[in-house]
Amino acid sequence: MIFVPHAITGKLLRINLTDKTAKEETIPMELYKRFVGGRGLAAWYLWKETPPGVDPFSPENKMVWGTGPLTGLPIQTAYTNWVGVTKSPLTYGYCRNRCVSYFGVMMKKAGYDMIIWEGKAEKPTYVIIDDGHVSFGDATKLWGCTTDLTQIVMQEITGPGFEYAVIGPAAEKLVRYATVQSGTRSFGRGGHGAVMASKNLKAVAIRGTGELTMANPEKVRELSREQIKQLAASHGTKRMQQLGTTNIHGMVNKLGDCPYKNFQSSYNPKHEKIDEERIKYTVRHAGCGHCIISCWKYVAVKEGPYAGAWCEGPEYETQWAFGDMIDNDDFAAIIKANQLCDQYGIDTISTGNVVAFTMELYEKGILKKEDLDGLDLKWGNMPAVFELLKKIAYREGIGDILAEGAARAAKKIGKGAEKYAMVVKNMEMPGYEPRATVAHGFQYLTNTIGPVHSIGYGTQEVFQRPWAVDPRTFDGKGELTAFNQNRLAYMETVIWCTFAFRSEWHDPKLLAQIFAAATGWEEFSTVDTFMVVGERVWNLERAFNVREGLTRADEHFPDRIMEPIPDGPAKGCHWTRELENKLLDEYYKARGWDLATGWPTRAKLEQLGLKDVADELEKLGKLPK
């Protein structure tokens, strides 16, 4: 195995917050060979360095932030991508976030492929990483500040030229789905922000001025031209340029795939009112450097009750969470909800889902006005929603319970509330109906990070790309899901943006060639080799979850998914527990895992070069006989 270390730094930065030390370490070449970078390498360090059963909020939990070989290089759909992994306080399993702020670029240019955060600062702290120099500052006064102000004050402190990753008040209150905000982007799902808060780490500033090299820049340029040609010719790109991810809203609804009123239906009859509203509110298209897709949108509300509200977004998921999911058809109100979530630092998907859950409890009479601090939480009552967001972020009144997430809140509330918590593994489900798109939904059960749309996206069902698959059938969907998961694990290891791969511009061969040209790592000039990395990473992540207690019994949908969808294009569609079991069997089999437990087998792990993982699991009694 020949490896020319272009496009990697070979170094990690270990920052211990307990004793305020920072040291550089070499990342062994053996690890690059196994995990390449990004999500794969980050997952390895988390696996290796955290003790089994670690409390997510304890100093022993770690956050591993990583760049990939392509991060920071002038390559379409790759430039800004970086990741962070930790143990989630929402799922108590593996938590991975991908982010497209410029923080990753700075990290790479500062000389680090990875940053490992460990320990816990004695008091609120900010950290400045300025190329090789790390300093620690007192963030006591910043504690409690919203994420927008925190980044502005950090800029006062550092001067220009830095990028930031910060938390808001929700993380400080240990809201279990609190985010890390970086610029206008975030580590959204799974509560990474709350982990950061538990370490008393309020903000990180980073500046890197190093130059990154490529093995064969001429070749990269040539292949990039082809990639740009493909992207530019794509209808999908045009839609993304126009509407960003919200371009799919109408299509998803028409597919009967859009959870409505807390999954009461999968079709929003009023969806057309908000389908393409983002166009009207967009004041500026933006995006990552070196990407013509330009999917970011700055939107502003210029009149009406929410005049003055703005955000960068909302993505499709947020549009769904604060639109369809809570029966709100005022796009301006979605913008305001997005802005508040960003400022407080809470995940829009989990938050919108939790709000919908609360609204259904209110509808069903399980929660009354007096339980809700007087809020009239009927469907679509957005002023009440804004109040509720604040209560969640600051853990005031009912917000203190809801800050635990729908699953834990339902247990506290009782009275049959659990029926309405639309969760898998304690995490709230995102904006696609598992009854209408079976493989895309099945990933919710089996993903290593819980029900997250982006980590095993069923493009074949939702977009009929790269090949067409009937979204309603069950046969073969276990296997298809495993493929999609492996594919995205490889993407996030390199790191490619998932949008490089989702629609009709899908050309994995080209991406593999670009990677090889940039890194000089010729071994990875074919897709097949890369898919092995994806599978290896997935198995490693699964091993982490198994170590933390995961078994087959955890992989099931809420009861509502067993009920037929009452109306809309997917009317009558539903899962059964038999189908669930059948697909789990099929999936575990496709993965080479044990059917009884859903645990990876020694054979599979060794086949993937993860003998050390198998040994460790065996020691813990978590390897199938």
Point out which residues bind a second copy (CB under 8 A).
141-146, 149, 152-153, 156-157, 160-161, 169, 282-284, 286, 298, 300, 302-303, 307-308, 310, 340, 343-344, 390, 393-394
Least separation in angstroms between residue 284's CB and a second copy is 5
**Cis preceding-peptide flag for 466 (omega within 30 of 0):** yes
**Residue at token pair 């300093």:** 135
Q: Which is nearer to a second copy, 334 or 445 (CB)?
A: 334
Spatial CA neighbour of 94 closest among 408, 425, 341, 346: 425
What is the spatial distance between Cα 63 and Cα 46, in angstroms, rounded to a whole number?
A: 7
Least separation in angstroms between residue 381's CB and a second copy is 18
Residue 103 tokens read as 């923080």
| Residues, the chain | 625
Least separation in angstroms between residue 9's CB and a second copy is 24
Q: Which is nearer to a second copy, 139 or 422 (CB)?
A: 139
What is the spatial distance between Cα 587 and Cα 477, in angstroms, rounded to a whole number?
A: 8
Query: Phi and psi dihedrals of 563, rounded to 5?
Result: -90, 145
Cα distances (Å, whole numbers) of residue 359 to 173, 406, 410, 421, 558 = 23, 12, 13, 11, 18
Q: Which is nearer to a second copy, 115 or 295 (CB)?
A: 295
Beta pairing, strands 125-130 & 133-138: antiparallel
DSSP-assigned beta bridge partners for residue 285: 297
Within 10 angstroms of residue 233's Cβ, the number of other Cβ atoms is 12
Least separation in angstroms between residue 281's CB and a second copy is 10
Compute the half-sphere exposure of residue 110: CA atoms within 13 Å on the CB side of its CA. 29
Residue 38 tokens read as 């990004």
Least separation in angstroms between residue 315's CB and a second copy is 18
Q: Would you give the DSSP letter of residue 601? A: P
Spatial CA neighbour of 530 closest among 36, 107, 188, 180: 36
What is the spatial distance between Cα 212 and Cα 207, in angstroms, rounded to a whole number?
A: 14
Q: Which is nearer to a second copy, 41 or 337 (CB)?
A: 337
Q: Which is nearer to a second copy, 311 or 354 (CB)?
A: 311
Cα distances (Å, whole numbers) of residue 281 to 250, 338, 623 = 17, 13, 53
Q: Which is nearer to a second copy, 284 or 364 (CB)?
A: 284
- Contacting residues for 368 by C-beta, under 8 A, at least 6 apart: 362
Least separation in angstroms between residue 142's CB and a second copy is 6
| Contact predicate 348/317, CB 8 Å | yes
Least separation in angstroms between residue 198's CB and a second copy is 19
